[in-house]
Amino acid sequence: MSSLTLKDVAKVAGVSYATVSRALSGSPEIGEKTRQRILKLCDEMGYTPNSVARSMVMKHTNIIGLILASIDNPFMSELTVHLEIYARELGYNLMVCNSSYNQKLERDVFRLLLSRKVDGIIILPISHSSDESLQSLTSQVPTVFVSENMQDLPENYISIDNTRGMKIATDYLYSLGHRKIVYLGARKNSVTHALRVEGYTSTCKKHGIEPIIIESNYPRSSHEAGYLLAREYFSKSHDETAILCASDSLAIGVMHAAYEKGIRIPEDLSLMGFDNISFASLPPINLTTINQPKQELATSAMDLLIQHINGTESGYSSKLVSPSLVIRGSCLARNKEINANGGPHA
């Protein structure tokens, strides 16, 4: 179990261990013949470089920390695969920590990562106020926030253009002939939500229709929250023809409540989500939504982080990534024309 060291192979190679080091690191100051001989020997002996010793002297670990609420959230796990694959391409490994939607834990794991001497941290913060809670920590290591818009805060971040996303969504519904559109699931104290709401209301105004907003007091935009919200909404009579949800999860819950009420989607009611999480495309769900480009979010975040690690970038940077419409089957044109796709389950 205790593996070979440079010294071991140096001994059998009959050279000093500095030479072996040079051979491995591709240093120019070494003869080609010796290098080949040593490389071959390392291979034969099954030598594995010890990257912790290397980190010790190099003063960087090539590991980057990832903090997220819960990796089983489909949005987060999709982001994670892109993050991990891209990081590895760039020579980094990922140390992943769940913050479990808990601000204190978020802070604790951040500290932990600090003592692990990670070169940088990517964090999908619990909320906008994570910045405050993480005070004095984010300045100790390059860190970039992902998916939460940290505008006006001294932080690096990558986020989708939430406002534009909801504009696209609202425009789409409007173009389908909908004139009464409810926005469901706005959450107070979230700038992401505020931005999304703004996209919705401004577009309503542009078209001269009235925005109708159902706020949510639930802590997360889960499908349970969507169900509860929609059930209450459906319990009174309404003449809206479309529901625009603040997230896909919420929309799933709305589907459930609608089904119970005998309201058919999309025939009786059009429904849209936001995020385009993996299961939005599942046939029984087949939800029309706004895509967040996960891979672009991931690579942008990583690129930005690396720039800060390398000192290429200073100050605070941010980037907004573009949303796009993904039409599936949960919306129908209002003017009796049939829209391209069938409906959930089509």
Partner DNA sequence: CTGAAAGCGCTAACAG
Partner DNA sequence: CTGTTAGCGCTTTCAG
Residues lying near DNA in the complex (CB under 7 A): 2, 5-7, 14-19, 21-22, 24-25, 29-32, 34-35, 49-50, 53-54, 56-59
Least distance to DNA, CB of residue 44, Å: 16
**Residue from 176, 230, 183 nearest 202 by CA:** 183
Answer whether 266's CB lies under 8 Å from 332's CB: yes
Give the torsion through C-alpha atoms of 291, 295, 297, 301, to 10 deg: 170
Our finding on whether 93 is near a second copy (CB under 8 A) is yes
Min CB(118)–DNA separation in Å: 15
The four Cα atoms 274, 265, 335, 171 give a dihedral, to 10 degrees, of: -10
Q: Which is nearer to DNA, 26 or 262 (CB)?
A: 26
x/- letters, 22..51, toward a second copy (CB under 8 A): ------------------------x-xxxx
Region from 110-118, 162-170, 268-276, 314-322 binding a second copy, contact rule CB under 8 A? 110-118
Q: Which segment (58-66, 196-204, 211-219, 297-305) binds a second copy by CB under 8 A?
A: 58-66
Nearer to a second copy (CB atom), residue 111 or residue 238: 111
| Nearest Cα to Cα of residue 92 among 113, 118, 124 | 118
Q: How many whole angstroms separate alpha carbon 255 and alpha carbon 248?
A: 11
Q: Which is nearer to DNA, 29 or 152 (CB)?
A: 29
Sign of torsion over alpha carbons 258, 261, 262, 268:
negative
Burial 196-235 (b: 16+ CB within 10 A, else e): bbebbbebbeebebeebebebeeebbbbebbbebbbebbe
- Is the separation of the CB atoms in 185 and 221 below 8 Å? yes
- CB under 5 to 8 A by kind: which of a second copy, DNA, none does 278 bind? a second copy
- Cβ proximity to DNA: between 23 and 302 the closer is 23
- State which residue, 15 or 290, has the beta carbon closest to DNA: 15
Residues near a second copy (CB under 8 A), total:
59
- Count, residues in the chain: 346
Binding partner selected for residue 135 from a second copy, DNA, none, CB under the kind-specific 5 to 8 Å limit: none
Question: Does residue 228 interact with a second copy by CB under 8 A?
Answer: no
260: Cβ contacts below 8 Å, ≥ 6 apart: 231
* Contact in structure between 192 and 162 (CB atoms under 8 Å): yes
Contacts for 237 with CB less than 8 Å, ≥ 6 apart: none
φ and ψ of 96, to 5 deg: -105, 135
* Among 109-117, 124-132, 171-179, 213-221, the segment contacting a second copy (CB under 8 A): 109-117
Site string for a second copy, 270-309 (x = CB under 8 A): --------xx--xxxx------------------------
> Considering beta carbons, is residue 97 or 332 the nearer one to a second copy?
97
Per DSSP bridges, beta strands 289-291 and 324-326 are: antiparallel
Partner whose footprint covers residue 165, from DNA, a second copy, none (CB < 5 to 8 Å by kind): none
Indicate which of DNA, a second copy, none lies near residue 19 (CB less than 5 to 8 Å, by partner kind): DNA
Which helix (DSSP H) or strand (DSSP E) does residue 88 occupy?
A: helix 74-89
Closest CA to 46 of 12, 83, 95: 12
Residue 53 binds a second copy, judged by CB under 8 A: yes
Binding interface with a second copy (CB under 8 A)? 1-3, 46, 48-53, 55-56, 59, 61, 63, 70-72, 74, 77-78, 80-81, 84-85, 88, 93-98, 100, 109, 111-112, 114-117, 136, 140-141, 223, 227, 252-253, 255-256, 259, 278-279, 282-285, 344-346
